[in-house]
Amino acid sequence: MSKFKVQSLKSEVRKPVFAKKSFGQNFLVDENYIDKIISALNIQENETIIEIGAGRGALTERLIESGANVIAIELERGMTAVLRERFGDRENFQLVESDALKVDFSSFIVHSSSLKLKLVANLPYNISTAILQKLIEQREVFSEMVLMFQREVVERITARAGGKERGFLSVLVQAYLETEKLFDVSPNAFRPSPKVWSAVVKLQPKTNVEIADEHLFRQVISAGFAQKRKTILNNLKNAPPDFREKIGDAQRFLEVCGIAPARRAETLTIEEWQCLCNFSCGKSEKLIYGVKVIGSEVDSQTRCAHYHSEIDVIAIKFKCCEQWFPCFECHAEYAAHPPSVWAKNEFDTPAVLCGCCGHQLTVKEYLECESACPQCGSKFNTGCARHYYLYFE
């Protein structure tokens, strides 16, 4: 049972209720667009549909008629009175008078005959980012969401890497949800008519999200997009102190993640943002890209064989980003011989040649050597253990 008090459903005679500017209210009245939204939801009988901001109930009525269990969330008292009067006697209708940002959506799962809920909403501009963050946090309870925003918000949500609309909201949403813009909605479809077009977008939670720390992920995106006209390097250099402490030298951090420092944040893919987050939090035992981390962390004070003896002896490549790893000290690229994957049956295979004494280390020796040659003790760079499965010559 929901922790929110379900209001009394007694019918009352009320005066006409009008939209309030303070709530950003514009009521959808065009039946054609309502039909499109109902069709996009693909409602099955006895499913549970959450409607945020039910207003005067134009969409609510159609949801109830579909046979779904409808839970309407409405904060404005005038609107809740209208909804109680119109639908209070319907068995498949429940009214929750509350702020949607404070609702625990998982509490409604008990009312559902299916495993997950569906969500529909016409959302005002001023809460678009906040409600999306809330829905991302509770995405596991939804099978899909059909949401209406101002058109510019939908364009930002669906913007792909390299697009001019790409920003914090684009990356945040696309990291967790599949996005599909469905259709635009004319201002004439509302009463009162807004000054801008709206659009409807469908969001479906992804099954495998490869982000080690969700709070840190938001920090990474926020820092990266702090000033859109600046490079990702300059933005990270000017990030808050607590975040800079996590990543260390910003240029080295980007190089290790295989991202050119001169790029701008809007050009990065979701996979590249995930890489930045996972590297910065150092979750060394997390399964990412389907491969378990091995080896030890990079020590920025260790040196490569090239730095010691001017002989390139180690070829290191990362499976997740396909980048060759440069030395922290001299930035020399290691020899790019065809790599082979380390498998359990390859532990006795020669893997690395020490550039100082010429000793050939097997895979097993290399994993156990703690970045130093067991014969002469010279140090060499092991690569980044926060990437997954190192490749060697």
248: its two tokens: 């260390």
Does the structure show a pLDDT above 70 at 126?
yes
pLDDT tens per residue, range 288-337 = 222 222 222 333 333 333 333 332 223 334 333 444 444 333 333 332 22
For position 363, what pLDDT does the model report? Answer: 62
Does the structure show a pLDDT above 80 at 114?
no
Average pLDDT of span 340-353? 51
Closest CA to 236 of 249, 216, 356, 28: 249
Lowest average pLDDT, out of 142-151, 195-204, 337-346, 362-371, goes to 337-346
Q: Where are the domains of the chain?
A: 21-205, 214-281, 286-393
CB 169 within 8 A of CB 273: no
| Contacts of residue 28, Cβ cutoff 8 Å, sequence gap at least 6 | 34, 55, 58, 59, 122, 148, 185, 189, 190
Superfamily of domain 21-205: Vaccinia Virus protein VP39 (3.40.50.150)
Average pLDDT of span 352-369? 66
The CA–CA distances, whole Å, from 79 to 15, 126, 209 equal 11, 19, 38
pLDDT tens per residue, range 249-264 = 888 788 777 788 899 9
For position 392, what pLDDT does the model report? Answer: 31
Average pLDDT of span 16-24? 48
The pLDDT confidence band at residue 359, using thresholds 50, 70 and 90, is: confident
State the helix-helix crossing angle for 31-41 and 58-65, rounded to 10 degrees.
50
For position 281, what pLDDT does the model report? Answer: 73
* Alpha helices in the chain, H assignment, sequence order: 31-41, 58-65, 77-87, 128-137, 151-158, 168-176, 214-224, 232-237, 241-247, 250-256, 270-281, 305-309, 363-368
Does the structure show a pLDDT above 90 at 1?
no
Average pLDDT of span 27-42? 96
For position 366, what pLDDT does the model report? Answer: 64
CB 50 within 8 A of CB 41: no
Average pLDDT of span 25-47? 92
Report phi then psi at 269, rounded to 5: -80, 170
Candidates 1.10.443.10, 1.10.10.10, 1.10.8.100, 1.10.260.40; correct CATH number of 214-281? Answer: 1.10.8.100
Q: Assess whether the region 21-205 and the region 214-281 belong to the same CATH fold.
A: no
Give the start-end residues of each E strand in the chain. Answer: 27-28, 48-52, 69-73, 93-96, 117-122, 142-150, 177-185, 190-191, 198-205, 317-318, 340-341, 350-353, 360-362, 390-392
Burial code (b: 16+ CB inside 10 Å, e: under 16) for 149-174 equals: bbbebbbbbbbebeeebbbbbbbbbb
Do the bridges between strand 190-191 and strand 48-52 make them parallel or antiparallel, or are there none, so unpaired?
unpaired
For position 356, what pLDDT does the model report? Answer: 63
pLDDT tens per residue, range 48-81 = 999 999 999 999 999 999 999 999 999 999 999 9
The CA–CA distances, whole Å, from 41 to 89, 119, 168, 381 equal 24, 9, 27, 53
Percent of the residues in the chain that have a pLDDT greater than 90, as a whole number = 48
Looking at every residue in the chain, the average pLDDT score rounds to 75
Q: Reduce the DSSP state of residue 61 to 3 states and report it.
A: helix
Rounded CA separation 220/235 (Å): 10
The CA–CA distances, whole Å, from 36 to 22, 30, 143, 167, 247 equal 28, 10, 19, 28, 47
